[in-house]
Amino acid sequence: MANIKLKHYVIRKGKHAYWMPTPKMRALGFQTVPCGHDGPDAWAIAREWEERYQRTRKGLEPPILQVYPVNSVGDAFYRFRRTNEWARKPPRTREDWERGWKYIEPIFGDVAPETISMENMDIWYASLIKKKGVGEAGRAMKTWRALYTVMTAMKLCTPKQDPSRAIQKQSVPGRTQIWSEGEATRLVKSAWRAGYKGLACIIAIAWDTSFSPVDCRTLTPAHAVSAGDDWGFLTARGKTTMTAFGIMSRRTRRLVQAYIAGLDYDLHDDAPIFRTRGAAPGPKGGRRHNPVPFTKGSLIDDFADVRLLVFGKDEKRRLSDMRRTGAVEAVSGGGTVESIAAKMGNSIDQNKTLQKTYIPVNLAAVRAADESRKIGRKNIAEERNEIRKLKLVGKR
């Protein structure tokens, strides 16, 4: 295990980790947060709470815990946050709840859930769409509906009587952007040459495996496996917890080996492999920033830097679009839904129950999806037909 130093991070009985606020911090409403077993997930939780405290201390955010009337919506939410069920949620899931809650709290925080009507919800939702857009309004509505289920379990409201269910939630058009193999290669090479070597490995792995960005940046040596001549990573997806196996190409394998060989420290089994490039003091001095495991924000920022370097300021595609690219290529190459689902570690057909029951993750299915991607990539590259508007002119 890597030696990680985090403020207010405490380990009990050798493995149970907690974020422990001081009395001064408790005055701002912060409470002890169980982080689970000591390790990368626990570090992420503690780091998240430390960042929240620092923002509150500096006046950038109001105190996050307030006193609400008993059995109000706000009281229910903060009771829920003290449960083991909340502690077991992945950090990104908790982040989504908090992001949605900031829109719920000003309107419904001190209100009893039974008193909220459909008209109240309709006005609130329409106002959010106008002020924040469809995406943020949808996130807030999703949080409300999940919280209503919790409040039902707490016996604060009537089951199956959520007033928001009478409102049709608008959705943001899905993303359709994909990358080409040549573009991905340019990103990897440019990242490596610019010193973003950890990022270069993440991009290459994301291309080969169709893993999501969070699954790539949290890979550890414990996830590395071999199967015959193939090297790859066997991991439980951060979002769905379904098992996924990603095979690395030989080119990516060499890249990862070169990256690890260049590290000046030993990698422990449970420590994230890939790290930021760090920074040395500039001509005018300053602090040295050592390489650290990627967070969601630092991965987005570093990828944006490399993308700007390669494609300019008008390029807006994301690292996450490589996951979609893998599915598009596999479908274009005749890959089956079953093999694609096995590779991506999710259920992408309509019958998710049968998919989980009858299509377990297996090496043959993953290899079949990879072969389909190669065929589809070739088909897409050879497609030269363009769709043009027909001019239909009647007889005169």
Residue 360 has pLDDT above 60, yes or no: no
Q: Given this model, what pLDDT does residue 29 score?
A: 73
Mean of the pLDDT values across residues 302-319?
A: 95
Same domain, 320 and 261: yes
Domain annotation covers residue 390? no
pLDDT over 90 (residue 91)? no
The set of residues, in sequence order, having a beta carbon less than 8 Å from that of 74 and lying 6+ positions away, is 66, 68, 105, 108, 109, 110
State yes or no: pLDDT of 127 exceeds 90: yes
Residue of 132 and 57 predicted with greater confidence: 132
Please measure the distance between the N-terminal and C-terminal CA atoms of the chain and give it in whole angstroms. Answer: 82
Identify the bridge partners of residue 16 per DSSP, sorted by sequence position.
12, 37
CA nearest to 178, candidates 318, 360, 348, 355: 318
Q: Are 209 and 247 in contact (CB under 8 A)?
A: yes
362 part of a folded domain: yes
CA 93 from centroid of its chain's CA atoms: 9
Say how many C-beta atoms besides its own lie within 10 A of residue 356's C-beta: 14
Tell me: do 214 and 348 sit in the same domain: yes
Residue 384 clears pLDDT 80, i.e. is over it: no
pLDDT band at 356 (very low <50, low <70, confident <90, very high): very low
199 is a domain residue: yes
**Position 143 pLDDT exceeds 90:** yes
Position 35 scores a pLDDT of 84
Query: Taking 90 as the threshold, does the pLDDT of residue 157 lie above it?
Result: yes
Both 74 and 204 in one domain: the answer is no
**Residue, of 307 and 14, whose pLDDT is higher:** 307
- The reply to whether 61 and 151 lie within a common domain is yes
Same domain, 155 and 272: no
Residue 140 above 90 pLDDT? yes
pLDDT attached to residue 390? 43
Residue 392 covered by a domain: no
- What is the number of structural domains in the chain? 2
Residue 136 pLDDT > 50? yes
| Residue 224: strand, helix, or coil | strand
Whether residue 147 sits in one domain with residue 207: no
Q: Could you tell me the CATH number of the domain that includes residue 294?
A: 1.10.443.10
- What value does the mean pLDDT take over residues 350-364? 43
What is the rounded average pLDDT of the residues 57-82?
77
The answer to whether residue 121 sits within a structural domain is yes
114 plus 186 within the same structural domain: no
Tell me which of 166, 198, 222 is where a domain ends.
Answer: 166
Same domain, 53 and 111: yes
Residue 385 has pLDDT above 60, yes or no: no
Mean pLDDT of the chain: 83
| Polymer length in residues for the chain | 396
**Residue 312 covered by a domain:** yes
Does 191 lie in the same domain as 102? Answer: no
Across the range 56-82, mean pLDDT stands at 78
Q: Coil, helix or strand for 349?
A: coil
Output the pLDDT for position 55: 79
Average pLDDT of the segment spanning 323-336: 75
**Domain co-membership, 215 together with 74:** no
- Domain membership of residue 329 as a residue range: 181-279+288-382
Going by pLDDT thresholds of 50, 70 and 90, the confidence category of residue 351 is: very low
- For residue range 366-381, list pLDDT tens digits in order: 677 788 788 888 877 7
pLDDT confidence bin for 64, thresholds 50/70/90: low
Per-residue model confidence as pLDDT tens digits over 183-195: 999 999 999 999 9
pLDDT band of residue 73 (cuts 50, 70, 90) is: very high
In a domain, 101, yes or no: yes
Q: What is the pLDDT of residues 95-116, one digit of tens each?
A: 889 899 999 999 999 999 999 9
* Residues 281-285, mean pLDDT to the nearest whole number: 69
pLDDT score, position 1: 45
What pLDDT score was predicted for residue 371? 80
Q: Do 188 and 154 sit in the same domain of this protein?
A: no
Point out the least confidently predicted range of 32-36, 163-167, 200-204, 304-308: 32-36
pLDDT of 396 above 70: no
pLDDT at 279 > cutoff 90: no
- Per-residue pLDDT averaged across 220-237, rounded? 86
* Nearest alpha-carbon partner for 249 in 371, 381, 344, 375: 371
Same structural domain, 88 and 192: no
